[in-house]
Structure 1
Amino acid sequence: MPTIALGNHYEEFVRKHLEAGGYKNASEVVRAGLQLLEDHEAARERWLNEEIPARYDDLVNRPGLGIPAETVRARFETKRRNDAAKAK
């Protein structure tokens, strides 16, 4: 296996986790991160291959479930304005 360059940010991240005592060595920290990435990708694939087609079928069979695009745009615009106001 090749040596991996993590960069300063992730080297510090690994060091903090080792000092906290949650892991025995850097390899355990990296494996935990890779496991999370693997789980995330599996969940994304499930979403794309199972959940989205099922929701599409629901909308085809029951069009009343849908929300008009104008309504969605208006909701996003309202949220954007509220978030901008809170940020000030």
Structure 2
Amino acid sequence: MGRQSISFTEPNDNWLKSQVDNKEYASKSELVNDLIRQARKQQIQIDWIKSRLDKAENSGFTSDSKSQILAQSKSLLNG
């Protein structure tokens, strides 16, 4: 496992500390690794949505632009 040294802003460092203090995570490293795993999963989902948008846009099935479809998808996911 690679070892890194990173700096956090004070609010972010305080939040990380609070998560560890609340026993949500055993360490800041565990928390940061979990956040990275979540971001990687999210990126996979984003890439899948983008590929579906490209396919739909190129099929001529809709007259909506990619940005319109993406905005609709985001509102459905967040709604």
TM range (shorter): 0.5 to 0.7
Q: Greater helix share, 1 or 2? A: 1
> 1:3-59 CA deviation, whole Å, 9 max, x = no partner?
11112121111111111111111111101110111111111111112x2134322xx
Report what 1:6 is aligned to.
8
- Choose the corresponding residue for 1:15, options 14, 17, 42: 17
Q: Which has the larger radius of gyration?
A: 1
- Choose the corresponding residue for 2:44, options 26, 42, 45: 42
**Whole-Å separation in 2 of the counterparts to 1:2 and 1:26:** 12
Task: Report how many aligned residue pairs link the two structures.
Answer: 62
TM-score (norm 1): 0.59
Secondary structure at 2:26's aligned position in 1? coil
Report what 2:29 is aligned to.
27
Gaps of 5+ in 2: 69-79
**Whole-Å separation in 2 of the counterparts to 1:38 and 1:29:** 14
Report what 1:53 is aligned to.
54
* Runs of 4+ with >3 A deviation: none
TM-score (norm 2): 0.64
RMSD: 2.0
Secondary structure at 2:6's aligned position in 1? coil
Identity %: 8
